[in-house]
Amino acid sequence: MIDLYYWGTPNGHKITIALEEMGLEYQIFPINILENDQFQPDFLRISPNNKIPAIVDQNGPRGEPISVFESGAILQYLGRKTGLFYPTDEQERVEVEQWLMWQMGGFGPMLGQNHHFNKFAPERIPYAIDRYINETKRLYTVLNKQLIGQKFVASEYSIADMAILPWALRYEWQGIQLEDYPYVQDYIERLTARSAIQKALSIQV
Ligand SMILES: N[C@@H](CCC(=O)N[C@@H](CS)C(=O)NCC(=O)O)C(=O)O
């Protein structure tokens, strides 16, 4: 059984998608980040960076519970644990990891800043809005190009796609016209047709 410390954001969705795809049993512990649950000492012991998602696997590698924070590290952990969606062949693994890290370092943090300045900031700061929308468009252009002639960012469906999709689903918040990125549009349609993803995205806490 995996305990998932979760709120319904793109970073949270990555992990429900992985758990559903991998057929792992899990229970959700809601961490309401709008009410500062992420600063509770019990949660900080699991996730010292005060952010969701985090997991505790009651059956860790040494037969004891293990906690993991950072969504990319959680996806890698679950992929190694199950042997699913995270190839063991070194070349294929590197393909997956570079796109996972691309998401963790760019197509997440930059889009998060875009959401902040474009949607939530109390004042309109044109410099910041332009900066993050332009960076978002650059990242969508990179993703669109990668998807020409292939269904997923690496050769096979992987934890990298599970990391990228939830952020791409928020394209409207990001000032993105999906028609400008037709391969990303097809990718979203392809992935959201998967029943595990539909189930993960429908979870309400
Ligand atoms: N790099 C982290 C980012 C996680 C993250 O930004 N989580 C947000 C929700 S999507 C959060 O918990 N925010 C609460 C806070 O910053 O206090 C990861 O990928 O796990």
Calpha distance 202→199 (Å, rounded): 5
Q: Kindly report, residue by residue over 109-125, the tens digit of the pLDDT.
A: 999 999 999 999 999 99
Best residue among 46, 52, 78, 162 to mutate for probing ligand 1's pocket (most ligand atoms within 8 Å of CB) is: 52
Calpha distance 43→182 (Å, rounded): 40
Task: Tell me if 38 CB under 6 Å of ligand 1.
Answer: yes
Q: Kindly report, residue by residue over 133-177, the tens digit of the pLDDT.
A: 999 999 999 999 999 999 999 999 999 999 999 999 999 999 999
Ligand 1 centroid–CA 10 distance in Å is 9
- Phi first, then psi, for residue 67 (nearest 5°) are -105, 150
Task: Tell me if 71 CB under 6 Å of ligand 1.
Answer: yes
Which atom of ligand 1 is nearest the CA belonging to 14?
19
CA distances from 180 to 15, 158, 161, 177, 187 (A): 28, 25, 20, 6, 13
Q: Kindly report, residue by residue over 11-30, the tens digit of the pLDDT.
A: 999 999 999 999 999 999 99
Best residue among 50, 51, 70, 77 to mutate for probing ligand 1's pocket (most ligand atoms within 8 Å of CB) is: 51
Q: Is the Cβ–Cβ distance between 15 and 75 less than 8 Å?
A: yes
**Can you say whether residue 84 is alpha, beta or left, with left for phi > 0 and alpha for psi between -120 and 50 degrees?**
beta
CA angle 64, 74, 95 (to 5 degrees): 130
CB proximity list for 164: less than 8 A, separation 6 or greater: 99, 103, 107, 143, 153
